[in-house]
Structure 1
Amino acid sequence: MHANTDSEVTSLSASSPTRSPRRPVYYVQSPSRDSHDGEKTTNSFHSTPVLSPMGSPPHSHSSLDRHSRQSSSSRFSGSRKMPRKPHKPWKEGHVIEEEGLLELQPPPNTLPRRCYYLAFLLAFILLFSLFSLILWAASKPMKPKITIKSIKFDHVRVQAGSDSTGVATDMISMNSTVRFTYRNTGTFFGVHVTSTPLDLFYSEIKIASGNMHKFYQSRKSERRVNVAVMGNKIPLYGSGASLSSTTGVPTVPVKLNLNFVVRSRAYVLGKLVKPKFYKRIECSITLDPKKINVSLSLKNSCTYH
């Protein structure tokens, strides 16, 4: 379609004087432009009818046509374009400078691994020591209980003799047996039991002695212990005058003293926690010549320290 020229408009108006002049219609064709981001869109035609007044010069139509194309093109391209933020290029000098600053910064304040190992070891030692202390404190009140039951004199004889230097004196020989009970009151540990020699004294002279065999006593258990206390030809010197007789057996009661120490060691946590218990026992005994081979009760004759 093309626009009508001015000559055709004049001829039409001359041939038809009674008919009103017909205004020509102009169409502006605007091609679609490419978008800013590189994507192509399909060509579309926007036909804009432009009514031109009668007798307008050709240059005015062209200027109007150009103005319409510019406005429609600006509207179309404005609707398709999106504003973009300006992009700042990275400068290599800045990157190198920042990397240098990162390298110069001190490392974070972190402890080395061996410090953690040392802390763990110290904490373990502390907890283990605390646990051992608790076990030791719990086991300390659980002392063993020892009760001296009796003593039996199997043989007693006093006779004249001489000591190792040849000095004449009365000498005594005897065999006896001491009986007592040992009870372990510990609820969670056993004990190893030993003892000092059981010494029997007459007027500060040791006339007999015996050794107890060591043993192990499990928790919350009890046993009876028999210890042989014997003496063979022990010099009495001046103290034996009251014991001598024609038969060799004392005729009057004789006061004797028995003392020894029982030692108990508990292994609560192996050899790390091993509380010790000591019991010193002293008994006052009366040797009655009429009660040879008879057990003499010592329940009320002993003291325990």
Structure 2
Amino acid sequence: MIHTNSESDLTSMSSPKAYYVQSPSRDSNDETDKCSSTNGRCPSDSPLYSRPSAASSSSTAACSRVSGNRRRWNKHYCNVVAEEKGTAAYIDGDDDYDYGDRGYNSMLCKWLAVVVGFGMCFGGICLLVWGTSLPYKAQVNIKSLMVHNLYFGEGSDHTGVPTKLLTVNCSASLAIYNPARFFGIHVSSPSANLIFSEITVATGQMKKYYQPKRSKRTVLVRVMGRGVPLYGAGTALAAADASGGGIPLKFEFEVQTRGYLVGKLVQTKHRTRASCPLLINSKRTKQIIFEHDSCQYGL
């Protein structure tokens, strides 16, 4: 039997079937699920959908093109979302690192400010203490010189050159006063010399000692010279001694004081030099008393 298709049946079979396009979700939490799943299915992929044989070929081709476009669009969209999430995570990591770095720098600056402030305060106190100690200089006064023996004669030096030799033995007495109210001083003497015509005929040295605050002490310094060659000055010395007027000598003495104000970190130092002229006769040895104005004192 031949069945004849009507015009209406041919029209209904040749018309394309309906299809749908799913728009992307607005929920940000579904973006990753949407990228991991295949959302671009055509209605023809559904098992409930029955495909027509030949009449729906144009509809299938159209659906394939739309699905391909959707897959490409979904792939691009998912890449953009992944890049945005990676960038956000990287920015969050940088923010955490910057926050930790700023906290460390802030703590370092605080400790540095504390150390600098303490150093400035301590330095100011030390400077103030040092400034107040400057007026307290030790007072030195040479009181007397006792000549124990003095004689000269003919001889030769260590090279064998003939010359006059001088031997002298004496001791000097001096008073040292420490006027400081809040610190003691360490007193020493690097040199104590007896000089004749620019020739040192006797030397001595005072032993170092400690003197408390606001105290006075009398010190005895031994000055000795044995077999000192006089060379050309020997004739002048013998003539002065023979005249009975005495041998002109000069006694030079130096005193150094050191006070420790803040341990050894802050110190105060003073130096005093004294020079006293005197006459000594080899026939009459006695104690020579110095007046205060008979000696010159200086730095």
Normalised by the shorter chain, which TM-score bucket? 0.5 to 0.7
Out of 234, 242, 263, the residue aligned to residue 240 of structure 1 is: 234
Out of 202, 214, 225, the residue aligned to residue 220 of structure 1 is: 214
Q: How many Å separate the matches in 1 of 2:231 and 2:138?
A: 40
Compute the displacement of 1:289 (Å): 4.4
User: Going by fraction, where is helix more abundant, 1 or 2?
Assistant: 2
| 1:205-284 matches, cutoff 5 A | 205-244=199-238, 251-284=244-277
Deviation string, structure 1 residues 34-67 (Cα, Å, up to 9, x no partner)? xxxxxxxxxxxxxxxxxxxxxxxxxxxxxxxxxx
Compute the displacement of 1:221 (Å): 0.7
Matched, 1:161 2:155: yes
- The alpha-carbon distance between structure 1 residues 161 and 107, as it changes in their structure 2 partners (threshold 3 A), is closer
Pairwise CA RMSD of aligned residues?
A: 2.8
- Ranges in structure 1 where 5+ consecutive residues have no aligned partner: 1-91, 94-99
Contact 2:183 2:261 in 1 (8 A): yes
- Which stretch has the larger CA shift, 235-244 or 154-163? 235-244
Q: Which residue of 2 aligns with 1:43?
A: none
Out of 192, 196, 211, the residue aligned to residue 186 of structure 2 is: 192
Contact 1:158 1:249 in 2 (8 A): no
Q: How many Å separate the matches in 2 of 1:304 and 1:141?
A: 17
- Letter of the 2:254 partner, please give it: V
Contact 1:243 1:252 in 2 (8 A): no
**TM-score, L = length of structure 1:** 0.61
Out of 175, 179, 183, the residue aligned to residue 181 of structure 1 is: 175
Q: Which residue of 1 aligns with 2:119?
A: 125
From the CA coordinates, give the structure whose radius of gyration is larger.
Answer: 1
- The alpha-carbon distance between structure 1 residues 252 and 289, as it changes in their structure 2 partners (threshold 3 A), is farther
- Letter of the 1:276 partner, please give it: K
- Letter of the 1:121 partner, please give it: V
Contact 1:178 1:229 in 2 (8 A): yes
- Letter of the 2:249 partner, please give it: L
Compute the displacement of 1:298 (Å): 4.6
- The SS at the match of 1:197 is strand
Q: How many Å separate the matches in 2 of 1:298 and 1:198?
A: 19
Contact 1:249 1:289 in 2 (8 A): no
- Letter of the 1:265 partner, please give it: R
Deviation string, structure 1 residues 154-199 (Cα, Å, up to 9, x no partner)? 1000111111111111111011111101111111111111111201
Contact 2:149 2:282 in 1 (8 A): no
Q: How many Å separate the matches in 2 of 1:186 and 1:290?
A: 44
Q: How many Å separate the matches in 1 of 2:152 and 2:113?
A: 73
- The alpha-carbon distance between structure 1 residues 203 and 259, as it changes in their structure 2 partners (threshold 3 A), is same
Out of 118, 139, 146, the residue aligned to residue 145 of structure 1 is: 139
Tell me the matched-pair count.
Answer: 207
Compute the displacement of 1:299 (Å): 2.8
- The SS at the match of 1:268 is strand
Segments of 4+ moved more than 3 angstroms: 103-111, 242-245, 248-252, 288-291
- Which stretch has the larger CA shift, 257-266 or 173-182? 257-266
Compute the displacement of 1:243 (Å): 3.5
**TM-score, L = length of structure 2:** 0.63
- The SS at the match of 2:117 is helix
Q: Which residue of 2 aligns with 1:201?
A: 195
Q: How many Å separate the matches in 2 of 1:217 and 1:293?
A: 30
Q: How many Å separate the matches in 2 of 1:223 and 1:125?
A: 38
Q: How many Å separate the matches in 2 of 1:192 and 1:114?
A: 43
Q: Which residue of 1 aligns with 2:57?
A: none
Deviation string, structure 1 residues 135-161 (Cα, Å, up to 9, x no partner)? 000001111100110111110001111
Compute the displacement of 1:238 (Å): 2.1
Q: Which residue of 2 aligns with 1:26?
A: none
- Letter of the 1:262 partner, please give it: V
Compute the displacement of 1:250 (Å): 7.7
Q: How many Å separate the matches in 2 of 1:228 and 1:160?
A: 25
- Ranges in structure 2 where 5+ consecutive residues have no aligned partner: 1-26, 29-87
